[in-house]
Structure 1
Amino acid sequence: MLYPPPAFRFAVTFGSTGKNRDNAFREVSGLGPEIETESVVEGGQNAYVHLLPKVARHPKLVLSRGVATMESGLLKWCQEVLEGGLAQPIVPQLVHVFLLDPDGAPLRAWAVRNAYPVKWSVEAFQSTRNEVAIERIELAYAGSSRVV
């Protein structure tokens, strides 16, 4: 077993079955919760400030990859949500992010619950650079947990 596992071999799946693998991503970021705090000053105490916990928040899950074809299930889902004008209800998805070993077996896994797209963008095209066109998808989510 590799420890710590390298971050360059990973896969992303969408839906509860885990079979909708759309894993050609260049980068995945935004996993994990963060607790907001509130500063409270205690009267007569000037040495420090109390930091009290408030609510857990989750950053957006950001997925970057080369611009996909129109057959991409992820792209179709993003279009339905982002271009639908809220005429249809948003159907959140379960997303899994896997760190893989050299044989493609999961070493670590995170489940991202109730994810839905909130932004889709394409990075700038530049005639002076020889790079792949990159699309960026941002997903809001209700919670995440490490499952492996």
Structure 2
Amino acid sequence: MSYYPPAGFHFKVQISGASSEDDAAFTEVSGLEMEIEVEEVKEGGENGFSHRLPGRVKYGNLVLKRGILVKGSQFAQWCQSALRTGPGGRLTCKDLDVFLLDQKGDPLLTWNCMRAWPVKWSVGAFDSTKNEVAVETLEFAYQQLRRR
């Protein structure tokens, strides 16, 4: 067992229960965060401090970036169908797993984003003066985050 922190560049993202053959390779993952909101209560007659109480747990959005795929993946199909559905339609939530991998490709840590749904899909700018890969960004809201 290594006591050194793992490298942050060897990871994979997968829809829970999906086959590992589905192309879900991303160049960047962010938004694995949770925080407790703090409520301040001011007590009448007490001007020296206010009471700080724990509130609800709040989660960030999971943001995934990668080069645009010519052939759509399961992620892309799910995002496009959800975003076309609109506010009155039936939204399909799925659990997403983010795996931090060791040198052999085995999971060291797993974050499970429970009941996630797509909230945004965007394509980066095309610029003829730069030599860069065309990038798409997928953004998901989720209800709960668990680290395993």
TM-score under structure 1 length normalisation:
0.89
Work out the CA distance in 1 between the residues paired with 2:22 and 2:43: 52
Contact 1:118 / 1:138 at 8 angstroms: preserved in 2?
yes
What is aligned with 2:74? 73
Q: Map of 1:22-61 to 2, 5 A cutoff?
A: 22-61=23-62
Contact 1:29 / 1:62 at 8 angstroms: preserved in 2?
yes
Contact 1:10 / 1:23 at 8 angstroms: preserved in 2?
no
Work out the CA distance in 2 between the residues paired with 1:94 and 1:141: 8
Deviation at 1:17, TM superposition (A): 4.7
State, as a whole percentage, how many aligned pairs show the same letter: 46
What is aligned with 1:90? 91
Contact 1:10 / 1:98 at 8 angstroms: preserved in 2?
yes
Work out the CA distance in 2 between the residues paired with 1:20 and 1:46: 61
The number of equivalent residue pairs is 147
Give a deviation string over 1:102-141, Cα, whole Å, max 9, x none. Answer: 1100011111100110100011112221111111111011
Bigger drift between 115-124 and 125-134 goes to 125-134
Contact 2:22 / 2:73 at 8 angstroms: preserved in 1?
no
Q: Map of 1:1-148 to 2, 5 A cutoff?
A: 1-2=1-2, 3-17=4-18, 19=20, 21-86=22-87, 88-147=89-148
Contact 2:22 / 2:74 at 8 angstroms: preserved in 1?
no
Are residues 122 and 17 of structure 1, via their aligned partners in 2, closer, same or farther at CA, if it must alter by over 3 Å? closer
Unaligned stretches of 5+ residues in structure 1: none
Superposition CA RMSD, Å: 1.9
Contact 1:12 / 1:21 at 8 angstroms: preserved in 2?
no
The one-letter amino acid of 1:54's match is G
Bigger drift between 63-72 and 47-56 goes to 47-56
